[in-house]
Amino acid sequence: MSSAAQPIETGRQTMEVDIACAGFGPATGGFLTTLTQAWSQNPADPAFESRVAPGMPLQVLCYERADDLAAGVSGVVTRAQGIRSSFPTLDPAEIPMAAAVKQERVFYLLDPIGASRRSALLRLGDFFLSLGRKLCLKDHAFELPWTPSFLHKDGGLVLSIGQFNQWVGSQLMASGLVQIWPGTPVSGPIFAEDPNPKTKGVVGLRLADQGVDKHGAPAEGFMAGMDVHAQLTVVGDGPVGAVGQQLDKRLGLPAGHARREWALGMKFVIELPEDTALEAGTVWHTLGFPEPEIFGFLYVHPDRLASVGIFVPSWLGDPARTVYRYLQHYIQHPLLWQHLKNGTLRSWGAKSIEESGKHGEPFLNGDGFARIGEDSGSTNMLTGSGVDEAWTTGVQLGEAVLELLRAGKPFTQENLAATYEARRRASWVEHGACEARNARNGFQLGFVRGLVGMALAGLTGGRLALRANIPPAPKQIRRHGMYETAGLKLKQAAALAVSDGRPLHDALMTARGWPEIPFDGRLLVTHQDALLMGGKVQAMPGFADHVVFLDKGLCVACEEKTCVAMCSGQAITPGPEGAPAFEREKCVHCGACLWNCPHSPDGERSSIEFQAGSGGLHSAEN
């Protein structure tokens, strides 16, 4: 439903359940696993009798937007502390693409091209490193002599989140207690009827309307989304999920909290050459290239598969931040290319990461609802870890729910705070979040100071860190940044874009000195070709557009068009009248457009709304 459309109430069916979950990822997986394991141990426990269907087990339903549980987009390395607590005898071989961490290294990458935007101080440092090339520099990379302890993933796992979600989901469905419904986007929470708009009460979920046009108006085959009433609503739909967004809009955030730090993670899954020397469990972290602000990674899975990717943060102020092009240059860095050359692209993926951590933590619970996972502020940006933290928040809620069920207590804000929130505050997740609270502040002051700030926070357990004012994401984009490299280059880029039909931002990178990509049809392929390889984009018909431009006047006046540059699937393109156009069939649901709009109507939020929608990127290897 677009922002201009009116809610449709005619013929809306209802259903009563005990627990309704929005989104299926590691957090919800941890929550449901905790419930099902307890139920499997003692199915006769009276606590598991349904309140809405007496005589039956608890009615627990989970609704997931993606058409498949394996559509999660992320290759990760995690300490797996919480995951192993849920599965004490876990053998990584049970999970496709999983491997125990065997080797972990950190590299600072020099720019072998000379096109990146490096400060004078950084260029000076690079110069001195290059003087000692024979001693400490190889393949335009400097390996740190030691890996900081806060980055270590000793005893951890390399995972494909898509495969991990599928493995967890199959066990949950086999238990018989839980129903998971993929391909079912949730349009928002159902708030408790109360004249106070700040009332923290939720009574269920409303599913998205189907059979509508792109604006949300009823069309052929219209069916109003069902209202699912629940004793407890579990919100785990991620940082750009519709349920979490609407909760934030209605309730606001706790005093002093704000969500202003983001990153887009994009990665390739690559089949390595047969003679590869990289073994499963290899983990590399990189920084310095293709831009100093861009961090990268290489994780090696079994069967000669590797996840290789980059994180482009909101504090990279350049509005022409074309992530797919940056990723192609990244994999061609000499350190990586010697291992990746002659490999084959199997799939790719992208997702937004909410990096505010503790600063962005929302209200964790209210009457009838609780929030878990990344959207609840659990990601630790000092350790670069989020999956295990998200899983553990789900486990903590599961334990709290079991306690309340056995005590016969309702899911009120007071009871959830005394059980779920209390567990979380006393846990390693909270301890890590507090240590990481200000770890990345320094990057608002520059790359070098950002590294210093991270080192201070990491080595002192968060007691010391740099202080910085973090502006809203729209204000982190440099206005008129398109012209910073001189108008001539912009004119060159425009001419290039017109001549071969490429996006303007891609052409601008070429004009700035980045070499053209030598496409080989195998690993180095065009962005559009990547949409057809491995990571396939699908969109079920009959749903409204989920990306809505709120103020077309601001869009027309916008010179940066950063939403176009950052769109992972090229679903947002320049429109005929100056405002962007959106093609739902190409959208991978990364959510980058939400925080890549430089023009804010209110100074905090962007002029783009990311609503509930179906489809997205589908690949079990992501």
If asked whether residues 419 and 276 sit together in one domain, one would say no
Cβ neighbours around 272 below 10 Å, total: 21
If asked whether residues 333 and 270 sit together in one domain, one would say yes
Q: What is the pLDDT of residues 324-362, one digit of tens each?
A: 999 999 999 999 999 999 999 998 889 999 999 999 999
Predicted confidence (pLDDT) at residue 285 exceeds the cutoff of 60: yes
Q: What is the pLDDT of residues 73-99, one digit of tens each?
A: 677 999 999 999 999 999 999 999 999
The owner of tokens 């419904």 is 181
| Of 260-274, 281-295, 431-445, 479-493, minimum mean pLDDT range | 479-493
If asked whether residues 149 and 290 sit together in one domain, one would say yes
Angle subtended at Cα 114 by Cα 110 and Cα 115, rounded to the nearest 5 degrees: 110
Report the C-alpha gap between 582 and 571 in whole angstroms: 6
If asked whether residues 152 and 288 sit together in one domain, one would say yes
Contact call for residues 211 and 223 (beta carbons, < 8 A): yes
**Which residue type sits at 592?**
A
State residue 594 phi and psi, 5-degree precision.
Answer: -60, -35
Q: How far is CA 467 from the centre of its chain?
A: 26
pLDDT value of position 496:
63
Helix axes 26-41, 387-407, angle to 10 degrees: 40
If asked whether residues 341 and 366 sit together in one domain, one would say no
Q: What secondary structure letter does DSSP report for 218?
A: E
What lies within 8 Å, CB to CB, of 118 at 6+ separation is 111, 126, 292
- Point out the domain boundary residue: 324, 357, 390: 357
Q: What is the pLDDT of residues 143-177, one digit of tens each?
A: 998 888 888 898 899 999 999 999 999 999 999 99
Contact call for residues 192 and 143 (beta carbons, < 8 A): no
604 assigned to some structural domain: yes
What lies within 8 Å, CB to CB, of 255 at 6+ separation is none
If asked whether residues 134 and 242 sit together in one domain, one would say no
Domain with 573 in it: what CATH number?
A: 3.30.70.20
Report the C-alpha gap between 45 and 254 in whole angstroms: 37
Q: What is the pLDDT of residues 416-458, one digit of tens each?
A: 999 999 999 999 999 999 999 999 999 998 999 999 999 999 9
Contact call for residues 268 and 309 (beta carbons, < 8 A): yes
345 assigned to some structural domain: yes
Q: In 239-367, which ranges are continuous DSSP H helix?
A: 242-251, 323-331, 334-340
Predicted confidence (pLDDT) at residue 504 exceeds the cutoff of 80: no
Q: Which two tokens stand for residue 135?
A: 């001693």
32: helix, strand or coil: helix
Predicted confidence (pLDDT) at residue 528 exceeds the cutoff of 60: yes
Q: What secondary structure letter does DSSP report for 94?
A: G
Percent of the chain with pLDDT over 90: 72
Domain with 293 in it: what CATH number?
A: 3.30.9.90
If asked whether residues 419 and 463 sit together in one domain, one would say no
What lies within 8 Å, CB to CB, of 468 at 6+ separation is 441, 442, 444, 445
Report the C-alpha gap between 215 and 218 in whole angstroms: 9
345: helix, strand or coil: strand
The owner of tokens 């949950």 is 172
Q: What is the pLDDT of residues 301-318, one digit of tens each?
A: 999 999 999 999 999 988
If asked whether residues 98 and 76 sit together in one domain, one would say no
If asked whether residues 284 and 295 sit together in one domain, one would say yes
Predicted confidence (pLDDT) at residue 480 exceeds the cutoff of 60: no
Average pLDDT over residues 285-293: 96
pLDDT value of position 512:
83
pLDDT value of position 2:
36
Q: How confident is the model at residue 105 (pLDDT cuts 50, 70, 90)?
A: very high
- For every residue of 277-290, DSSP letters joined together read -PPTTEEEEEESSS
Predicted confidence (pLDDT) at residue 375 exceeds the cutoff of 60: yes
pLDDT value of position 11:
73
608: helix, strand or coil: strand
Average pLDDT over residues 44-72: 91
Please give the residue range of the domain that contains residue 544. 516-618
State residue 188 phi and psi, 5-degree precision.
Answer: 165, 175
Predicted confidence (pLDDT) at residue 591 exceeds the cutoff of 90: yes
Report the C-alpha gap between 558 and 481 in whole angstroms: 12
How many domains are there within the chain?
A: 4
If asked whether residues 241 and 376 sit together in one domain, one would say yes
- Point out the domain boundary residue: 357, 383, 416: 357
Q: How confident is the model at residue 5 (pLDDT cuts 50, 70, 90)?
A: very low
Q: What is the mean pLDDT of the chain?
A: 90
If asked whether residues 327 and 303 sit together in one domain, one would say yes
Q: How confident is the model at residue 599 (pLDDT cuts 50, 70, 90)?
A: confident
Helix axes 120-131, 447-459, angle to 10 degrees: 80
203: helix, strand or coil: strand
Q: Which two tokens stand for residue 193?
A: 């009827």
581: helix, strand or coil: strand
538-564 burial by CB neighbour count: b if 16+ within 10 A, else e?
bbeebbbbbbbbbbeebbeebebbbbb
Give yes or no for a cis peptide into 96 (omega within 30° of 0): no
Instruction: Give the chain's end-to-end CA distance (angstroms, integer).
Output: 29
**Which residue type sits at 210?**
Q
If asked whether residues 542 and 594 sit together in one domain, one would say yes
- Point out the domain boundary residue: 339, 357, 375: 357
Q: Which two tokens stand for residue 51?
A: 């309140």
Predicted confidence (pLDDT) at residue 265 exceeds the cutoff of 70: yes
3-state SS, 102-152, equals CEEEEEEECCCCCCCCCCHHHHHHHHHHHHCHHHHCECCEEECCCCCHHHC
Average pLDDT over residues 571-600: 90
Average pLDDT over residues 200-224: 94
pLDDT value of position 73:
61
pLDDT value of position 366:
97
